[in-house]
A and B are shown apart, each in its own frame.
Chain A
Amino acid sequence: MKTVADPRSGPPAPGVLSKGERELRQAFLAETNRIPGGGRLDHCIQCGTCTASCPVSYAMDYTPRQLIAMFRAGGLEELLASRTIWVCASCYQCTTRCPAEIQITDLFYAFRRIAIERHLSPKRFPSHVFSESFVLQVKKYGRNYETANLVRYFLKTNPIGMLGWSKAGLSLMAHGRIPVRPEKIKGIEGLRRIIAKAETFDLPQEPADFELGTDTVGYRAIGGTA
């Protein structure tokens, strides 16, 4: 298992937080304070129930338990660039079992949002592109047009991988499961106004003064295997 570290920061000295770390931490705490029970992060006893319950922890660079330890030890920059926060499948098993009642899944969402806002995820990182493709579909039609979403996603991240998917796509189509055109809602203008207004409450933070993004495509960009 490879670990990912920002070569420009290295491990922080005990008791000292870098400027970037302090700033990220403030942004993160502002996020967690808006999650009910977000402040319970401090109650973590490092028991590892989350990691043991997680069906995909084997595919993470840091386990959920390690991630919380890293946050408390001042490794937020490294954490935000991790594969872990994107491998989470939102199954909520960790959250339901956590004896300290920490909303782990929702904390991971908060990590993702900050990683995107701060450009800490590699630009063409798959999950990030997937989420953004999804958002574009909703803004355009009001519904998720799965076909266009997946095509855009594969073109951006892994055009060759699309070949592997074409068999699945053709079979789904043959079974009447791929609509040929998107459904657009009647109230799309109203929905766009709702989104525009709500976006004013989600003001992006200033990008951090360092950039981890590379032009490498896919998992290699963050040190995993494709």
Chain B
Amino acid sequence: MTYTYYPGCSLHATGVAYDKSTRAVFDRLDIELQELEDWNCCGATSYTSVKKTVAYAISARNLALAEKTGHDIVAPCSACFYVLNKTRSRMAAQPELRAQVDTALAEAGLKTDLSVPVRKPLEVLINDYGLDWIAARQTNSISGFKIACYYGCQIVRPYGAIDEDPENPVSMERLFEALGAECIDYPPKVRCCGGMLIATFEEVAVQLCEDLVDWAVRGGANCIVTVCPLCQANLDLLNLSGKGDRPKIPVLYFTQVVGLALGCTPEEVGLEHGLVPVDIPAPPLEGRAGGVPVSAGGGAA
């Protein structure tokens, strides 16, 4: 199956490891990702705060371009996922807005028909392929990973990407347990990391992030796994904090851990981009390597 891949701005910058590992996982599973040709910024929440119709129009340009391909959009960044979905749903609900956005898009010869859904890679892997199918392709053990599965906000709110209770999603836990990793009980899994407050109200965001990290460490996790580049950056930056005896903990993307389980090398999933080294091994599973190049171990310096 083929999907239209919308990386978004963060995955070409602070979230580069999410870009590498998403491509690596899909490649390893023989699922085709075609990057959306000449995509633009989704507008994030910053644009909505300034101009409303413009925010929808720039976001809709991406929908219009993607609709030409006819494939479902896969957007790893939770903010992109949310903004593109919001544009689709508001345009569908409000004919006046839709007419205005289409009038604006016509200036560049584009038009939307809202035919293409916007999805998250986690949901695509689980719903289109299934846990058993993915587990059957596992080549390396990730049983050394004790994971705090952190979902954050915009994968579950307001447009839930995964089909469970938005207060207690369990997709990541199901996926990692199918692959033999241990997931700790992590009650703040859908609490906010502060998002862009890290720039505008830094002390507020830092407080939220400290709570999230401390909770994971107290629960016995040896890594936090995220689905959003902003969550990853905010939590990872705490590792630089010189404050007291603040514990350091690797903050990974779910695709990095899945990639290791599928035999990707640490470089292929971009482990070197994390701010603390990952020294959790991912040794080959006996009799499962089957000609696929396997990682010699999970460690990235």
List residues of chain A with CB under 8 Å of any chain B CB.
Answer: 31, 34, 36, 55-56, 59, 86-87, 89-93, 95-96, 105, 109, 112-113, 116, 126-128, 130-132, 134-135, 137-138, 142-147, 150, 153, 161, 167-168, 171-172, 175-179, 183, 185-187, 190-191, 193-199, 201-202, 219
Contacts and interface: CB of A to CB of B under 8 A. Distances in A.
Contacts of A113: 49-52
Contact of A96 (B100, B158, B192, B237): B158
A187 B38 contact: yes
Given A87-B204, A127-B200, A194-B61, A134 B47 contact: yes
A126 B205 CA distance: 14
B101 A198 contact: yes
Given A143-B40, A175-B275, 11 more contacts: A36-B93, A86-B201, A93-B153, A93-B192, A113-B51, A128-B49, A153-B199, A176-B273, A187-B108, A194-B110, A202-B53
B160 to A, nearest CB: 9
Contact of B157 (A93, A167, A171, A198): A93
B16 interface: yes
Contact of B104 (A109, A161, A198): A198
B240 A135 contact: no
B299 to A, nearest CB: 16
Interface in B125-181: 153-154, 157-158, 166
B214 to A, nearest CB: 15
A36 B158 CA distance: 13
A96 B192 CA distance: 14
A131 B52 CA distance: 13
Nearest 9 pairs between A and B by C-beta? A190-B108, A91-B192, A198-B57, A92-B157, A134-B46, A193-B107, A198-B104, A197-B104, A91-B153
A86 B100 CA distance: 28
B192 A55 contact: yes
B101 A168 contact: no
A90 B108 contact: no
A202 B53 CA distance: 6
Q: Summarize A's interface: helix, strand, loop or mixed.
A: helix
A190 B94 contact: no
Given A172-B14, A185-B38, A116 B201 contact: no
Contacts of B49: 109, 112-113, 116, 127-128, 131
A55 B191 contact: yes
B194 interface: yes
A10 B200 CA distance: 29
A56 B194 contact: yes
Contact of A194 (B107, B158, B274): B107
A172 B272 CA distance: 11
A89 B192 contact: yes
Nearest to A154: B199
B296 interface: no
A146 B14 contact: yes
Contacts of B61: 187, 190-191, 194
B208 interface: yes
Contact of A130 (B94, B157, B196, B272): B196
Contacts of A135: 46-47, 50-51
A190 B50 contact: no
Nearest to A94: B157
Contacts of A198: 51, 53-54, 56-58, 100-101, 104
A190 B204 contact: no
A151 B137 CA distance: 45
Contacts of A138: 40-41, 43, 47, 58
Given A55-B192, A87-B201, A142-B40, A131 B101 contact: no
Contacts of A34: 52, 94, 96-97
B69 to A, nearest CB: 16
A89 B104 contact: no
Contacts of A187: 38, 40, 61, 108
